[in-house]
Structure 1
């Protein structure tokens, strides 16, 4: 039987050995110990609460690294690891310790990873492609009369919410709130002045997009044009503008993530110069 044990000072070295064996552990923009070792004792205590160790008898065989659930109960998993010789012991009961949590885990697509998630009773939520462009040879041409304005903290949170909630309107999506945006501004992945509104020649805001530094990659996210202003080329213009911002800031590689079935978006990104870099699968599991 596989048991879960909290990470503590007493089993820290066991976790460190497991972590160093896991080639897939670096799923964040920093490794666990790059984060942990830099903090003082109180923050270290809080970080340790994000780790549960898998244990059989007296042997530590793996771990799960996850974030605290949000108000909606969603928790992102950063890494799951189990020693190869214990793979047959994987089952849904390993996560029964958690109560009323929805887990999300983005993994590189592979048959091994799929097998693990199926044994844990996760379901596929979406399949995505991570695309990459090099900025060194990128040249940007701005159309006349199209204006841009960079996001200002403490001023534009409401406008951003209005645009994103309209662009990404879906019955299964929790609406973005001003508080959500403010929390994002405090996150390590957030880059000040890398959020952009695009306007038409009548001075109307028609879309928004931004660049973040996520998992070690400069990534374009939240790119969207309001429905009534689509098919006028604004999406391509905004995309090119965001790439150019990165180039001007000496960022050589820029990434964007897209649903595998979103052929129109893939065609646009390819036209601009993006190429497929990796395939990902987003897995979900609800624990009642």
Structure 2
């Protein structure tokens, strides 16, 4: 019999025995031990993050750590199910919740995820650029750029991001989402950059510390300003910022994700020196 038990002081030591197992299951798992130890037990339990221990035949064999990101949608940050215990599962059915999860296409966990009734929603490529390959001289002109400032740019970012990434399948960004983003562990101050034409914000990109990797996210240009060179200018400015952020975080590489269905962006990143690392599957349950 499979049971999903809330984390308590009584079963906390059972969880500690499994620290580090998540990375064995899936390299893209966020490290539960590192994140849990950054906050005290009570504050963690009172947040929107949830840890369930998986119990089979009265023995704790795995765990799932997830957080609520939008209404009834939950992001799995760390998951561990030992292969030898998989025979007890037919799905990861926790209160009929809707889960999102990611793994490399080369990950051993993919077969298990399929059998747990997860389905592949999308595949994107992860690319990397060494800091010493960044052309700093080409990135210094800052007249048309603006760095995100708290309590000033939230509305601007929300409107701009919704305009850039508008699609029928995308949930619109809200102001609460922007404020939530600012409080996350991955968030880096002064690392969201806008590009402007006169007084119009035409594009943006953000650098975060995702899974211990400096990663460019939310990069894009408004539709009506595309194919005018703004994308390359903005990416050069973002990479210029990466050189300083890399020193602060002791990182020597910067990462970005891109769909092969976006050949223009793919070509831009390759021209800037980014190299393919692996492909990432976005799963849903």
- In the alignment, structure 1 segments of 5+ residues that lack a partner are none
Whole-angstrom CA distance in 1 between matches of 2:146 and 2:227 = 21
**TM-aligned CA distance change 1:45 to 1:161, over 3 Å:** closer
Q: Which residue of 2 aligns with 1:12?
A: 12
Whole-angstrom CA distance in 1 between matches of 2:188 and 2:210 = 10
Q: Does 1:280 align with 2:280?
A: yes
**TM-aligned CA distance change 1:48 to 1:37, over 3 Å:** farther
**TM-aligned CA distance change 1:276 to 1:13, over 3 Å:** same
> Quick check: 2:69–2:75 contact (8 Å CA) kept in 1?
no
Q: Which residue of 2 aligns with 1:181?
A: 178
Shift in Å, 1:3: 2.1
When structure 1 is superposed on structure 2, of 116-125 and 6-15 the one drifting more is: 6-15
Whole-angstrom CA distance in 2 between matches of 1:49 and 1:72 = 14
Q: Please, which of 220, 229, 236 is the counterpart of residue 233 of structure 1?
A: 229
> Quick check: 1:165–1:176 contact (8 Å CA) kept in 2?
yes
Whole-angstrom CA distance in 2 between matches of 1:180 and 1:111 = 30
**TM-aligned CA distance change 1:283 to 1:9, over 3 Å:** same
1:236-285 per-residue CA deviation (whole Å, 9 max, x = no partner) reads 11111101111133242111111233222211111101111222100011
When structure 1 is superposed on structure 2, of 153-162 and 238-247 the one drifting more is: 153-162
Q: Which residue of 2 aligns with 1:86?
A: 85
Whole-angstrom CA distance in 2 between matches of 1:49 and 1:145 = 39
1:8-64 per-residue CA deviation (whole Å, 9 max, x = no partner) reads 2222222222234442467466x3222333433422544797222222212222221
Q: Secondary structure at the match of 1:64?
A: strand
**TM-aligned CA distance change 1:208 to 1:256, over 3 Å:** same
Q: Secondary structure at the match of 1:243?
A: helix
Q: Does 1:213 align with 2:212?
A: no
Shift in Å, 1:203: 4.4
Q: Does 1:150 align with 2:147?
A: yes
Q: Please, which of 112, 115, 132 is the counterpart of residue 116 of structure 1?
A: 112
Q: Secondary structure at the match of 1:50?
A: strand
Shift in Å, 1:216: 0.7
> Quick check: 2:25–2:81 contact (8 Å CA) kept in 1?
no
Whole-angstrom CA distance in 1 between matches of 2:107 and 2:41 = 40
1:153-210 per-residue CA deviation (whole Å, 9 max, x = no partner) reads 111111111211111011121111222112211222111111111123x443211111
> Quick check: 2:26–2:108 contact (8 Å CA) kept in 1?
no
Whole-angstrom CA distance in 2 between matches of 1:206 and 1:118 = 40
Q: Which residue of 1 aligns with 2:133?
A: 137
TM-score by length of 1: 0.88
Q: Which residue of 2 aligns with 1:53?
A: 53
Q: Does 1:196 align with 2:198?
A: no
> Quick check: 1:7–1:53 contact (8 Å CA) kept in 2?
yes
TM-score by length of 2: 0.88
Q: Which residue of 2 aligns with 1:73?
A: 72
CA-based RMSD: 2.4
1:101-122 per-residue CA deviation (whole Å, 9 max, x = no partner) reads 3210011213632221211211
- In the alignment, structure 2 segments of 5+ residues that lack a partner are none
**TM-aligned CA distance change 1:143 to 1:230, over 3 Å:** farther
